[in-house]
């Protein structure tokens, strides 16, 4: 499966070889097809690989040059940098529909057959040979490399049933084709290439160099037409790592990926990828679930999660060779949304709005996504949790300074001068929080600073803004805070 959308147009009309010939169609190699569509998008000023955030000026130009040159390529980067997403997006550069011989295991073009079976079909049926149409979403194959991946999985193997039926071992029709030949005339991806055993890498080498396949010592001449793309961790993709040198040499281009460089790109990626709404694809929501299915995530909370992710990545306590995946931030924001929905369901809020009190739920949920460089051997060691909690507070403080710099919050502080306190918590509803504060000076200005539209200034939005201000005042040492489990009390 790919990220390619469903067919935007019906398949073309020709259903026989004769009809296809009458249209003047000619076979086009897959790399030429990709090149033509890529150049058309570039000329029209359209995004060439839509959905790739933060790669516009770095990774994408290198990928575009490789595709124009007709190179197979390998993407090098740490986990969670969007390598697989980028590879799947390449399918969008294929023609929407392409003709194939009906029944072909190799997606053969009716005007350029390559197998014994296809030649026999055309010889028997002539212009009446049935022709089908393959959508580009079905022209993608991928395999996650593991040490137990076999040649049969990728290339193919002799089918013992066909041999038992009387065919000889040297007969090409005894072959049960693997994933690579079955993706002929498409894009094939090998994820984590160095994890393949060396003999499997040798089999791929033959596909890259000769564009044919060898099975159990028999050379089956199949001029495969495909774009081969691989991904790997840079540490493994070296002559001293787990990649054989000849295979490394056959890829036409190596492209280094990276995590979002700018904070704005990190935020944009979160907004694009995180699923914080549970409305169906057709807009349908089960009766009674409409309000809870669309929680509001204020912009300042998205920024905190983005800053938190960047701080974790940059921490000297985190294994830099492993990296911190973009999925760390995505799962974190989704957890914040779920915490807000849980509170709304329990406390009866009319609309779930995420608040600062929902942020601590990220830490235990995301702990398993981080590999620490100095992890202790004691399984009860809580240093990792303490580090993540510290970095989360740091991200909150940075966001507060960035968004509320110069904002006069003395009116809010003055509420606590007489010894009053304000209690919050993960299950404290918005009206209960606001009711403890009474009239809040300059609330409209605070909401404006946090990007809340004038028509959307509900009690839940106000509570989210006020709680962020209270937390910011605490982190800048202008208020005190006491936390006990899910209960938080702010005071002077």
Q: Using the predicted structure, report yes or no on whether residue 240 has a pLDDT greater than 70.
A: no
Q: How much of the chain exceeds pLDDT 70, in percent? A: 90
Look at residue 89 in the predicted model and tell me its pLDDT.
Answer: 96
Look at residue 93 in the predicted model and tell me its pLDDT.
Answer: 97
Q: Using the predicted structure, report yes or no on whether residue 372 has a pLDDT greater than 60.
A: yes
Write the pLDDT tens digit of every residue in 7-64: 667 878 889 999 999 999 999 999 999 999 999 999 999 999 999 999 999 999 999 9
DSSP string, 386-445: HHHHHHHHHHHHHHHHHHHTT---HHHHHTTTTS--EEEETT--HHHHHHTT-S-TTHHH
- Kindly report which listed range (191-195, 227-231, 383-387, 465-469) carries the lowest average pLDDT score: 383-387
Look at residue 287 in the predicted model and tell me its pLDDT.
Answer: 47
Look at residue 378 in the predicted model and tell me its pLDDT.
Answer: 54
Mean pLDDT confidence for 360-372:
87
Write the pLDDT tens digit of every residue in 129-178: 999 999 999 999 999 988 888 888 888 887 777 766 767 666 677 788 88
Look at residue 270 in the predicted model and tell me its pLDDT.
Answer: 94
Look at residue 448 in the predicted model and tell me its pLDDT.
Answer: 82
Mean pLDDT rounded to a whole number for the chain: 86
CATH number of 17-256: 3.40.50.300
Look at residue 282 in the predicted model and tell me its pLDDT.
Answer: 52
| pLDDT band with cut points at 50, 70 and 90 for residue 217 | low
Q: Using the predicted structure, report yes or no on whether residue 1 has a pLDDT greater than 70.
A: no
| pLDDT band with cut points at 50, 70 and 90 for residue 455 | low
Look at residue 209 in the predicted model and tell me its pLDDT.
Answer: 77
- For residue 340, the Cα-to-chain-centroid distance in whole angstroms is 24
All structural domains of the chain with their residue ranges: 17-256, 263-491
* Inter-residue contact 227 to 68 (CB < 8 Å): no
- The set of residues, in sequence order, having a beta carbon less than 8 Å from that of 26 and lying 6+ positions away, is 111
Mean pLDDT confidence for 337-356:
90
- Biggest distance spanned by C-alpha atoms of the chain: 96
């Amino acid at each position: 499966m790919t990220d390619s959308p469903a067919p935007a147009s019906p398949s073309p009309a020709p259903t026989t070889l004769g009809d296809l010939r009458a249209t003047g169609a000619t076979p086009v190699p897959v790399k030429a097809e990709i090149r033509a569509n890529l150049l058309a998008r570039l000329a029209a000023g359209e995004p060439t690989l839509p959905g790739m955030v933060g790669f516009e000026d770095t990774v994408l130009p290198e990928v575009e040059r490789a595709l124009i040159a007709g190179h197979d390529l390998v993407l090098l980067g740490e986990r969670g940098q969007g390598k697989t997403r980028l590879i799947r997006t390449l399918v969008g550069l294929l023609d929407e529909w392409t003709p194939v011989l009906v029944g072909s295991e190799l997606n053969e073009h009716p005007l350029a057959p390559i197998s014994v079976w296809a030649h026999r079909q055309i010889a028997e049926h002539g212009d009446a040979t049935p022709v089908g149409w393959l959508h580009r979403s079905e022209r993608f194959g991928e395999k996650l490399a593991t040490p137990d991946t076999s040649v049969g999985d990728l290339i193919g193997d002799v089918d013992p049933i066909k041999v038992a039926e009387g065919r000889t071992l040297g007969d090409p029709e005894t072959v049960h084709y693997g994933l690579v030949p079955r993706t002929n005339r498409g894009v094939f991806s090998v994820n984590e290439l160095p994890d393949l055993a060396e003999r499997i890498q040798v089999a791929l080498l033959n596909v890259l160099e000769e564009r044919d396949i060898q099975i159990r010592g028999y050379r089956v001449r199949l001029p495969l037409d495909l774009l081969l793309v691989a991904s790997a961790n840079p540490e493994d993709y070296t002559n001293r790592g787990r990649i054989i040198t000849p295979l490394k040499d056959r890829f036409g281009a190596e492209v280094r990926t990276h995590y979002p460089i700018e904070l704005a790109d990190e935020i944009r990626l979160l907004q694009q990828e995180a699923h914080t709404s549970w409305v169906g694809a057709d807009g349908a929501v089960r009766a009674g679930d409409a309000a809870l299915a669309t929680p509001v995530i204020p912009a300042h909370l998205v920024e905190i999660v983005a800053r938190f992710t960047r701080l974790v990545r940059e921490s000297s306590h985190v294994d830099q060779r492993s990296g911190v995946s973009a999925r760390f931030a995505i799962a974190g924001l989704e957890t914040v949304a779920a915490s807000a929905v849980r509170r709304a369901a329990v406390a009866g809020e009319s609309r779930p709005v995420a608040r600062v009190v929902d942020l601590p739920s990220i830490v235990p949920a995301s702990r398993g996504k981080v590999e620490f460089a100095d992890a202790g051997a004691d399984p009860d060691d809580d240093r990792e949790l303490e580090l993540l909690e510290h970095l989360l507070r740091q991200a909150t403080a940075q966001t507060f300074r960035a968004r509320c710099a110069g904002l006069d919050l003395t009116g809010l502080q003055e509420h606590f001068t007489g010894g009053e306190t304000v209690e919050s918590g993960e299950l404290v509803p918005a009206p209960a929080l606001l009711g403890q504060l009474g009239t809040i000076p300059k609330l409209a200005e605070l909401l404006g600073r946090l990007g809340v539209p004038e028509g959307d200034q509900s009690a839940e939005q106000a509570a989210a803004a006020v709680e962020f201000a209270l937390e910011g005042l605490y982190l800048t040492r202008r208020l005190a805070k006491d936390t006990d489990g899910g209960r938080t009390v702010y005071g002077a």
